Structure 1
Amino acid sequence: MEKKKGFYTLKGYQKGEPESMTASMEDYLEMICRLLLSEEVVRVSQLALMLHVQPSSASKMVKNLKDDGYLLSERYGYIRLTDKGKHAGDYLLFRHDILNRFLCLINQSEDELEQVEKIEHFINKETVYNIEKFLEQHEK
């Protein structure tokens, strides 16, 4: 995609981008992947608890992610990742980690969860990989 020249609103920059997950979809998929790091399966109730949302909201998002091919789930059952979901989720965890490490480095702090959550959905892959290269050179 060709870079736009000049100033645009956020929506103006987003026009013409390939269809992708919404920020909320990313948050849910990232949390599912995070939970699966220590659990074999995830339930909707567990997901809702971790994201501080109502179970009905989590259930709707699980259905959306399932419809888009990221998850396998059964009503009132377990949530599992498809290959597509695993691939996307691995990147989301990676992106989160890179941004947290970067912000901790420049802000000289231990944790930057809130800041990461606010910016992670708006940064492109090229920038994430460039930050990773920067961190390789500047972290002790």
Structure 2
Amino acid sequence: MAQKNRSVSRDEPLPDAEVHSEGFRQTREAQRGALVEDYVELIADLIEDGNEARQVDIAARLGVSQPTVAKMLTRLCAEGLVSRKPYRGVFLTEAGHKMAGESRERHQTVEAFLRSLGVSAETARIDAEGIEHHVSAETLEAFRRAMQRRP
């Protein structure tokens, strides 16, 4: 069965190629950083929960294999975000703590904004996990202002 070629009309013309490509560049950059931020934030959460951040726990919480975690931990060490001690867990460096805090704040803002729109707690938590890595500082600030105006 042949599909009809339906075009979607735009209200505005395509932006200049350089301006247009900037949005795609930012998305690719956010995608690259999202996994690193997820690991660092989870490590901070495990440590703050009173436990060590062990490779086995990280793998279980992220739903990935231990070799996958080991590879990422090597990368995080190389980037100066975590340190590892033999026969111990993983620890955040100062840079790792900073990244975890920034990531957590973005997540909490996005989740609170979604909740303020009436999104269920579970859906807001899940959706915020993806959105937090792609949202700009300008948009986060707009979320905060919108929540302040709501009764």
> TM-score band, normalised by the shorter chain?
0.7 to 0.9
Q: Which has the larger radius of gyration?
A: 2
2:21 to 8, 21, 27: 8
Where does structure 1 lack aligned partners over 5 or more consecutive residues?
none
2:147 to 113, 135, 140: 135
Q: Is the 8 A contact 2:111 2:125 kept in 1?
A: yes
Q: Quick check: 1:49 aligned with 2:84?
A: no
**Aligned partner letter, 1:32:** I
Q: Quick check: 1:80 aligned with 2:86?
A: no
In structure 2, what is the equivalent of residue 100 of structure 1?
111
Distance 1:119 1:14, change over 3 A: closer
Number of equivalenced pairs? 134
Give the % identical residues: 23
Distance, in Å, in 1 between the alignment partners of 2:127 and 2:31 is 22
In structure 1, what is the equivalent of residue 34 of structure 2?
23
**Secondary structure, aligned partner of 1:72:** strand
Distance, in Å, in 2 between the alignment partners of 1:66 and 1:20 is 20
Give the deviation of 1:44 after TM superposition. 0.7
Give the deviation of 1:107 after TM superposition. 3.1
Q: TM-score, normalised by structure 1?
A: 0.79
Where does structure 2 lack aligned partners over 5 or more consecutive residues?
1-16
Give the deviation of 1:67 after TM superposition. 0.6
Q: TM-score, normalised by structure 2?
A: 0.74
Q: 4+ residue stretches of structure 1 with deviation over 4 A?
A: none
